Structure 1
Amino acid sequence: MSLLKAVIVEDEEIGRETLRNYLANYCKDVEVCGEGTNIQEGEELITKYQPDIVFLDIEMPFGNGFDLLEKLDEINFEVVFITAYSNYAIKALNLSAAYYILKPIDIDELIAAVEKIKSNSGNKERFQNTQILADNIKSINDREQKIVLPQIDGFEVVKIKNIIRAEAADNYTILYLEDGIKYTLSKTLKHYEELLSDFGFLRSHKSHLINLEHVVKYKKGKVGVASMTDGSAALISANAKKTLMDYFASSK
């Protein structure tokens, strides 16, 4: 296999040096063509070298790694994000199923990310996850944002607003969308609760996660029941009832 051209965009010298040495010693298929310390240098390096991979620090002075992606008209490279602690960034990355490594860099995580990129090198859709992330960042309306749903043979991309509800099935989650579409996913309901809680979703019951925009009726009881736009029903626990009531009170 030919060498993968790489660019490192990281404001800290020790971070660039560590990553450069790790790649040289443990990822022999990767050749570092250039290193930048900020968004402007990163954009110039990407334009100059047309890399296969960009190792991109998220938190930098005068902007962040997402700002760099926003400046690009086209993303025709893979991105491995490097982040120290930013919860909002990790949520965005998980929504798009993008590659990321937490600081301090773990060698095994770095190797795994590079190996995944190598294995996808023949896939014409290999840049789509990063493009979805960039689209999400640019989106003014959160309801237009998208989520990547991993499948056995690849992945599906859906708009978050089209998800009606999710239901736990042991360690799996069944996601119900408009038009009767549903997906069985190999992640727990807790995982999707964490991803979607900022987008109008309520963990209404230990087994149910609902999109409040798709609730059409509520029937009270010891355990309430919400009727959804697809005709299905979701349980509402006593703890979730107040959040549901507050949401619809504020919507009047």
Structure 2
Amino acid sequence: MSITAYIIDDERKAISIIKSKLERTASDIDVIGEFQDPEKALKEMEKNTPDLIFLDISMPKMNGFEFLRQIKNPSFEVIFVTAYGDYAIEAIRHCAIGYILKPIMDQDLMLSIENAKKNIEHKTALAKNRQLVENLSLTQNRNKKIAIPSSKGLDFIEVQNIVRCEGTQGYTVLYLKNKQQMVSSYSIGYFGKMLENLNFFLTHKSHLINLDYIDKYDRNGTVELQDNHSVPVARNRRELFLKRIENL
């Protein structure tokens, strides 16, 4: 399957590097547009929308997020390209959107492309892109939604509705405020990284909890949550856990 692509980056050298790597490692990606000016890319997209866009986040006239906001129905797959840090990566990861860091490594590029191909096949791009734009406009992290990858695709859940997550055999069970449960094909480690800055704490290698739902902590190493469930706190996590809940 041939996939059409744009590369949008204000640096000509960066465009050349991505294009060269694609020619060497992903011959089925057909680059049909190269743009240093995102406004020109927007105009071109009115005539020809690609399947995939490699999109630099930090550009002087219009950054990658602002570019995405300009498009009414962004149904193309995105791989963000960034040399910068946690805020951008975190926002992208919450919506299960691909990204690669500069300087670009072949292995990272190939992995992102393989994931993008699966997403193109499952047609998940529009929902992910819209959710990213919505999340970026919210000032309160707890009102944001995250993408929950499952065997059927993606579900978007408000962070504040997740009480706890439990890892089991490489899968993760999410326990929600309304007593419902969801099973994701992703590991507890994946959710730990995704939610660590959204008031969640990994109490144990198999347990991730929303600190908003703590009822009480027993100093023998057990947390009781508002869903009437008890969760263990590993010995090597107790000191850090106590510091976190002191600030609640």
| TM-score bin (small chain) | 0.7 to 0.9
Q: Is residue 148–residue 157 contact of structure 1 (8 Å, CA) maintained in 2?
A: yes
- For structure 2, the 5+ residue unaligned runs are none
Query: Cα offset for 1:199?
Result: 1.6
Q: CA deviation at 1:120?
A: 4.3
TM-score (norm 2): 0.83
1:113–1:222 distance in 2 versus 1, CA, 3 Å: closer
Distance 1:146 1:83, change over 3 A: same
Aligned to 2:246: 245
C-alpha distance in 2 between matches for 1:122 and 1:224: 44
* Cα contact 2:163–2:209 (8 A) shared by 1: yes
Percent of aligned pairs sharing the same letter: 31
Alignment of 1:112-151 (within 5 A): 112-151=111-150
Residue 228 of structure 2: aligned partner:
231
- Separation in structure 1 between the aligned mates of residue 190 and residue 118 of structure 2, nearest angstrom: 26
User: 1:187, CA displacement in angstroms?
Assistant: 4.3
1:21 corresponds in structure 2 to 20
Output the amino acid matched with 1:31: D
Structure-to-structure mapping, 1:30-49, within 5 angstroms: 30-49=29-48
- Give aligned pairs, total: 244
Of residues 148-157 and 69-78 in structure 1, the stretch that sits farther from structure 2 once superposed is 148-157
- Partners of 2:232 and 2:23 in 1: CA distance: 54
1:221 aligned residue = 219
CA distance in 2 between partners of 1:137 and 1:79 (Å) = 16
Classify 1:12/1:233 alpha carbon distance in 2 versus 1 (closer, same or farther; 3 Å). same
**TM-score normalised by structure 1 residue count:** 0.82
Deviation at 1:207, TM superposition (A): 4.4
- How is 1:1-252 mapped onto 2 (pairs within 5 angstroms)? 1=1, 3-169=2-168, 171-205=170-204, 207-215=206-214, 217-228=215-226, 230-235=227-232, 237-247=238-248
Deviations 1:174-208 (A, max 9, x none): 32112222234454434323221222223345543
Contact preservation (8 Å) 2:98, 2:115:
no
Deviation at 1:119, TM superposition (A): 4.2
RMSD: 2.6
Task: Give, as a single letter, the amino acid of the residue that structure 1 aligns with 2:182.
Answer: Y
Cα distance between partner residues in 1 of 2:145 and 2:174: 14
- Find the aligned partners of 1:70 and 1:240 in 2 and give their Cα distance: 38
Which 10-residue stretch deviates more, 130-139 or 94-103? 130-139
Aligned equivalents of 1:102, 1:141: Cα separation in 2: 27
Contact map agreement 1:33 1:49 (CA 8 A) in 2: no
The alignment partner of 1:72 has SS state of coil
Distance 1:145 1:24, change over 3 A: same
Cα distance in 2, alignment partners of residues 221 and 124 from structure 1: 48
